[in-house]
Amino acid sequence: MSDKTKNTGKSKLLKRRIRRRDFIKGGIAGSALLAGSGIFAPRIIRADTPSITIGSFQDNAMVPFHEYFIKEFTTKTGIAVNYNETNYDTWYQNCKNDGLNKTGAYDIYVMDDNWVPEFAAGKIVQSLDQLGFKANPDILPAGLEMGLWPPKSGARMKDFANDKPELYSIVIIDDVEILYYNKDFFPTAPVTWDDIYNVAKTTKAPDMYGWSPRGVKGNPIMMTYLPLLNSYGGNFVNPDWTPGFAGPEGVGALSRLFSFIPYMPDGVAEYDTDQEVQLMLEGKCTALTEYTGLAQRVDDPSSSKVVGKINMAATPKQVKSGPAIGTFIASVSSGAKNPQGAVQFLEWFTSSETQLEFARKYGGAAVTGSALSDPEAVQKHRWLPAIADAVNNSVEKPRTPDEPKMEDILGTALNEALVEAIAAKANYDAIAQKHLSAAADQITAYLKQQGGYF
Amino acid sequence: MTTATNIVVEREGRVQRLRAASVPYLLLLPAVIALAAVSLYPTLDGIRASLHRFRYGLDMGFTGGDNFTAVYNDPVFWQAIGTTALFVAFVVSIETLLGLLLALLVARELRFAGLIRVALILPMTIAPVVVGVIWRLLYASDIGVVDPLFQALGLGAPHVLAHPLSAFLGLVTVDVWEWTPLLFLIILAGLQSMPQDPLEAARVDGASALQTFFHHTLPLLRPVLLVAVVLRTIDAVGTFDQIFVLTKGGPGVSTQLISIYAYNTAFLFNQYGRAMAMLIGVLVVLILLMVAAVRLMRRSSQVIE
């Protein structure tokens, strides 16, 4: 094409004014083409097609759920499922606002189990019992009870002292802390914390550590301490809401954690999940407690140097085993547009058949006893019995909307104690006692101020 | 007839004057509405929330001054206020000093002055969350570069974020790195718009560089410095992103500024009323400080004039 021709063409184009009518015509033609090509077809749900909308926070454990199971549900029932997820904090606020205002943007909320007290007491979610939900009797009781409000056992707030527990949420993934240990150092599963300590004493930092904990203030260090506290016979709170960690059991548990200081990384007070787990994946620690999500990663050669070397068991006991439980739990929103469709989905997903597929196909932390003990699933995914064992022995955190504040107080005190113990390298009992007593006083004062406890 | 015509003319004139007088207000109205919607309404709603009790995600009703009393009696609140005051004092004074030094350096016709200016401004253009992530990677005791650097120099690894004092100083460093450019820019603008006559006169009179700086440059720069310090103080009190990413207020409560504590109180502990009471308290103190600073500015301007 000559320059002249090009210029003429350009000037013609410039001269031609795009009229409103042309624009609309073009738009209609383009829309028809796109619709015909089916580009948007999967996103369009016809008004007469039954559908449900599920919202969740992002987590790797949810991948099989949204990549496979919701499509399976649609195939089997004809009910379309819209799925949205966002980060944890944003989702918590989103679903809370949706439920409080009964907006009905979602039919099902996927939640963390410690949201249940607030969401159930505030009627942000509906009672599954009243919606006619039939809980599968195969679901492990410890997981199932996480969805009850008020709680079936343990400390209860006064406002709900005489209420009959109702099921507001149903567990969909039994996430629980389990022990990961390196078989090169432990020919058999360690049973007590002393077993772990005895092996830790033989390690030489920085090439190999005897323990890898989370030390960051708040929830991270709480997840390190709670299995220790429970195993030493202590409690976060007693049934009368008095703190149960400032006595000899709690002090003994914290002193045990401090006894690992020479065999832990120096900067452990700033360790969160990523750093803690990285040590294990690099083959630099003999043992740690962590949630079930790590189970598949230790065998992934792209991220792990210890493929096949790590085994799993229930967290160690001293007087008993007591891992912390942190289930993924689902509820029907207060403003759900299709509550019956939501109930149908939850019954289907927690059925023994679906959970068996979840365990066999993905090695997921299934919620039913039969799936976690299924020989075929266990042969493919060796961690499943450890999950069942841990769930059966798990200890739940206090069931109150004030739990996050209580956790923050104790989690801050634990972090301060750890920093002091690392600096002092001695007097562990005294350091533990000082910080735990202060935290107990602070929690009691807070609960008294809030009212409804004593 | 004449009287009636006069009355009509007078009335029309009055209407026209009224119309003319109301035009500026009408033109301002959209901006006022927008400002009220995004600024005034949230503030008023915040004040309302501070007088209410929230439980189970629900507004349980008017509770008077209970939230303010609870905040007043909360030792963690006062700890957070103390940490915030210390943080602000550190960062604002260091940033002002560094900003002044850099501005004095760059204001002179140096080679590559333009390039230096761009390089100095860069940290400020990065989003605070990204700044937090960058420094977290630098400070991390397992994969960071700060610990190996200290070790290479024959010093022990500081594990910056694992100890209260080093974590606090680490955050001050991050803030200084990020916000010194703001002070630098403001002060540089002040230096470049400064009248040159008094400075030249001082030089002719044989004043040394230091004498010129302390007796002429600094007094002339005082109003600009005050504006810079006031702006930076307001901003520093609300520092949140970097701390949230780097330490979440730890170890212990050593880096827990009031912004972090109020955020946790509202969104983690679900105590919206109490969080608002905290922030209103801080707002009142800030307003008082700002009023004092503005008065100081006016007085210093009058002195210069």
Note whether A412 contacts B248, CB cutoff 8 Å: no
**pLDDT attached to residue A43:** 40
Residue where the block lists tokens 């010129």: B212
Nearest to A449 among B56, B70, B270 (CB): B70
Check: CB of residue B251 under 8 Å from CB of residue A421.
no
**pLDDT attached to residue A118:** 94
> Cα(B293)–Cα(B300) distance, rounded to whole angstroms?
10
Q: How is domain A177-324+399-450 classified at the architecture level of CATH?
A: 3-Layer(aba) Sandwich (3.40)
Based on the fold, state whether residues B210 and B141 are members of the same structural domain: yes
The token pair at A325 is 């439980």
Q: Pick the closest to residue A110 from A74, A134, A81, A132 (CA basis).
A: A81
Q: For chain B, which residues score pLDDT lower than 70?
A: 1-3, 109-110, 300-305
> Cα(A391)–Cα(A176) distance, rounded to whole angstroms?
6
Based on the fold, state whether residues B30 and B74 are members of the same structural domain: no
Residue A438 has pLDDT above 60, yes or no: yes
Q: Pick the closest to residue A403 from A226, A273, A276 (CA basis).
A: A226
Q: Pick the closest to residue B275 from B87, B86, B61, B45 (CA basis).
A: B45
Based on the fold, state whether residues B15 and B112 are members of the same structural domain: no
Check: CB of residue A410 under 8 Å from CB of residue A236.
yes
**pLDDT attached to residue A48:** 56
In DSSP terms, which residues pair with A52 in a beta bridge? A81
pLDDT in tens, B89-104: 999 999 999 999 999 9
Based on the fold, state whether residues B75 and B117 are members of the same structural domain: yes
Nearest to A269 among B55, B251, B269 (CB): B251
Q: Nearest-CA residue of chain A relative to B139?
A: A270
Q: Pick the closest to residue B117 from B129, B96, B103 (CA basis).
A: B103
pLDDT in tens, A175-230: 999 999 999 999 999 999 999 999 999 999 889 999 999 999 999 999 999 999 99
pLDDT in tens, B63-99: 999 999 999 999 999 999 999 999 999 999 999 999 9
**A274 vs A54, residue with greater confidence:** A54
Contacts of residue B253 in chain A, CB cutoff 8 Å?
412, 416
**pLDDT attached to residue A169:** 98
Nearest to A270 among B57, B159, B253 (CB): B159
Based on the fold, state whether residues B8 and B156 are members of the same structural domain: no
Based on the fold, state whether residues B12 and B129 are members of the same structural domain: no
Based on the fold, state whether residues B159 and B29 are members of the same structural domain: no
The answer to whether residue B50 is domain-embedded is: no
Residue A24 has pLDDT above 50, yes or no: no
Check: CB of residue A81 under 8 Å from CB of residue A345.
yes
Q: Nearest-CA residue of chain B relative to A401?
A: B56
How far is the alpha carbon of A401 from chain B, nearest alpha carbon, in Å?
7
- Which residues of chain A have a Cβ shorter than 8 Å from any chain B Cβ? 89, 92-93, 96, 99-100, 117-119, 121-122, 124, 215-218, 265-270, 275, 278-279, 401-402, 404-405, 408, 412, 415-416, 419, 422-423, 449
CATH, residue B149: 1.10.3720.10
Based on the fold, state whether residues B9 and B97 are members of the same structural domain: no
Based on the fold, state whether residues B31 and B137 are members of the same structural domain: no
For the residues A336-365, what does the mean pLDDT come to? 97
Q: What range does the domain containing B17 cover?
A: 2-36
> Cα(B177)–Cα(B120) distance, rounded to whole angstroms?
9
> Cα(A168)–Cα(A148) distance, rounded to whole angstroms?
6
pLDDT in tens, A63-82: 999 999 999 999 999 999 99
Averaged pLDDT score across all residues of chain A: 90
Instruction: Show Cβ contacts of residue B100 under 8 Å, excluding neighbours closer than 6 positions.
Output: B183, B187, B221, B225
Based on the fold, state whether residues B6 and B110 are members of the same structural domain: no
Q: What number of C-beta contacts closer than 8 Å exist between A and B?
A: 93
Based on the fold, state whether residues B29 and B136 are members of the same structural domain: no
- Number of Cβ within 10 Å of residue B239's Cβ equals 23
Lowest mean pLDDT among A21-25, A347-351, B34-38: A21-25
Based on the fold, state whether residues B183 and B298 are members of the same structural domain: yes
Contacts of residue A402 in chain B, CB cutoff 8 Å?
269
The answer to whether residue B43 is domain-embedded is: no
**pLDDT attached to residue A49:** 66
Check: CB of residue A251 under 8 Å from CB of residue A338.
no
Check: CB of residue A424 under 8 Å from CB of residue A412.
no
Q: How is domain A51-175+325-393 classified at the architecture level of CATH?
A: 3-Layer(aba) Sandwich (3.40)
Nearest to B250 among A121, A217, A275 (CB): A217
**pLDDT attached to residue B105:** 86
> Cα(B81)–Cα(B97) distance, rounded to whole angstroms?
24
The answer to whether residue B234 is domain-embedded is: yes
One fold for A51-175+325-393 and A177-324+399-450: yes
For the residues A29-53, what does the mean pLDDT come to? 53
Give me the residue spans of the domains in chain A: 51-175+325-393, 177-324+399-450
The answer to whether residue B57 is domain-embedded is: no
Name the 3-class secondary structure at A103. Answer: coil
**A5 vs A300, residue with greater confidence:** A300
Averaged pLDDT score across all residues of chain B: 90
Residue A20 has pLDDT above 80, yes or no: no
Note whether A419 contacts B159, CB cutoff 8 Å: no
Helix pair angle (B164-192, B113-125), 10° resolution: 130
Per cent of chain A over pLDDT 90 is 84
Task: Output the CA torsion sign for A182, B137, A416, A440.
Answer: negative
Contacts of residue A267 in chain B, CB cutoff 8 Å?
141-142, 147, 157, 159, 161-162
Structural domains counted in chain B? 2
The answer to whether residue B192 is domain-embedded is: yes
Per cent of chain B over pLDDT 90 is 60
Residue A134 has pLDDT above 60, yes or no: yes
**pLDDT attached to residue A419:** 96
Measure Cα distances from B102 to B119, B177, B191, B240 in Å: 12, 13, 11, 26
Q: Nearest-CA residue of chain A relative to B165?
A: A419
